[in-house]
C-alpha cells in the first residue's frame, strides 16, 4: 500500500505543500462526518496539516444539526453511520443547503455511488483513499465555491448599480436602497405579520394577536433568523435555556430534568403559535417545518 493511502494508525499524516484557497479567500471550514474515531482523527490531522478549519460529527443527526447551525463550506460524509444512512443525511441537508458534499465511503458499488449522487452529493471518494486524492477533491469543491461566490458578487454588483440609479442595460433606475449600516428596524414585517419588538405586540393583518410569553419568544427567535433553519436543540436552548442534565437531575437553569424545554413541549407550543398566525395550518406560510431538523421562518 502506498504511504499516502489511508492506512489508519497512530502516525500523523506528513504535511504536503499547502494549497492557497481559491482567489485568495480564506480556507473553507470542513465538516467531517465519520463514526470511526481512527478515520476521523486521520482526516482531521490531514486537514490540520494543510491549514483547513474543521468540525466533526459521528452520527447523521449530529451532522444535520451542525450543517444547519454552523454552515460549513464543505462536508466530507461517510455513508455508514450508526443512526441513519448517509444518503438520508444528504437528502436532509439538500432541503435547505447547496453546500458541496463529498462522500467518503467504503461502499464501492455503482449503485451506492449513483444513489449518493442522485440524492445530491457532489463527489464520491472510495476508501481506502490517498491523501493527495482527498485534497484534490477538496480543492475542486473550493473552486466551485469560488465560482459561486463570484457569481453572487456579480449579481450583487448589478443590483447595486440598479439601486443607485446607474445605467444597466435592460433595467430602469430605482430609488437607492437604505445603507447597509442602517440599524435593524424596531418593527418586523413579513406579509401581514408584524412584531413590534419594543412594545412586545404582534399583529396579523392589523389585528393584535395574543401570545403566551413562550410563543412570543419563539416567534421573535424565528423572525430574527428569517430564511435560516433553526434546529430543535438550538431553539430549546434559546427559549428554555441550556438543556437539562439527566445525570445531575436538574438543568442549568435549575428546572427539574425533563419537565420543560423538551422536543414534545416545543412541538406543542409551535402548533399553538401556528394556529394563531397561520391562516391555514395545513399549508403554513410563515413557519416551515424541516422534519427531524427544526423550523424556519419564511419570507412571505
Note if the bond before 128 is cis, omega within 30 degrees: yes
Cα–Cα nearest to 35, from 67, 66, 81, 76 = 81
Cα–Cα nearest to 78, from 52, 104, 53, 96 = 104
Contacts of 209 by beta carbon, 8 Å cutoff, 6+ apart: 202, 203, 276, 277
pTM: 0.50
State pLDDT tens for residues 154-166: 554 544 443 344 4
Residues 286, 281: Cα–Cα separation, whole Å: 10
State pLDDT tens for residues 106-123: 998 999 999 999 988 999
State pLDDT tens for residues 206-261: 999 999 988 998 999 999 888 888 888 888 888 887 654 444 343 444 333 443 45
Residue 73, pLDDT score: 92
Share of the chain above pLDDT 70, in %: 72
Note if the bond before 298 is cis, omega within 30 degrees: no
Amino acid at each position: 500500500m502506498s504511504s499516502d493511502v489511508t492506512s489508519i494508525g497512530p502516525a500523523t499524516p506528513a504535511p504536503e505543500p499547502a494549497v492557497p484557497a481559491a482567489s485568495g479567500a480564506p480556507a473553507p471550514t470542513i465538516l467531517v462526518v465519520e463514526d470511526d474515531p481512527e478515520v476521523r482523527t486521520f482526516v482531521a490531522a490531514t486537514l490540520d496539516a494543510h491549514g483547513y478549519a474543521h468540525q466533526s460529527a459521528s452520527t447523521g443527526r449530529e451532522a444535520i444539526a451542525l450543517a444547519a447551525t454552523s454552515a460549513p463550506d464543505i462536508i466530507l460524509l461517510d455513508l455508514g453511520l450508526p443512526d441513519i444512512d448517509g444518503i438520508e443525511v444528504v437528502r436532509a441537508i439538500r432541503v435547505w443547503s447547496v453546500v458541496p458534499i463529498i462522500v467518503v465511503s467504503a461502499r464501492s458499488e455503482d449503485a451506492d455511488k449513483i444513489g449518493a449522487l442522485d440524492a445530491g452529493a457532489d463527489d464520491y471518494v472510495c476508501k481506502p483513499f490517498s491523501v493527495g486524492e482527498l485534497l484534490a477533491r477538496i480543492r475542486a469543491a473550493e473552486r466551485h465555491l469560488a465560482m459561486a461566490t463570484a457569481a453572487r458578487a456579480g449579481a450583487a454588483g448589478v443590483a447595486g448599480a440598479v439601486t443607485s440609479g446607474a445605467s444597466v442595460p435592460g433595467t430602469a433606475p430605482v430609488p437607492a436602497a437604505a445603507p447597509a449600516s442602517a440599524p435593524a428596524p424596531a418593527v418586523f414585517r413579513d406579509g401581514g405579520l408584524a412584531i413590534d419588538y419594543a412594545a412586545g405586540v404582534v399583529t396579523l393583518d392589523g389585528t393584535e394577536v395574543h401570545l403566551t410569553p413562550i410563543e412570543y419568544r419563539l416567534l421573535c427567535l424565528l423572525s430574527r433568523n428569517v430564511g435560516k433553519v433553526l434546529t430543535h436543540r438550538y431553539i430549546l436552548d434559546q427559549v428554555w435555556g441550556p438543556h437539562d442534565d439527566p445525570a445531575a437531575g436538574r438543568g442549568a437553569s435549575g428546572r427539574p430534568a425533563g419537565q420543560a424545554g423538551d422536543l414534545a413541549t416545543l412541538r406543542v407550543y409551535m402548533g399553538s403559535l401556528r394556529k394563531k398566525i397561520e391562516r391555514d395550518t395545513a399549508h403554513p406560510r410563515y413557519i416551515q417545518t424541516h422534519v427531524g431538523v427544526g423550523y424556519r421562518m419564511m419570507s412571505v
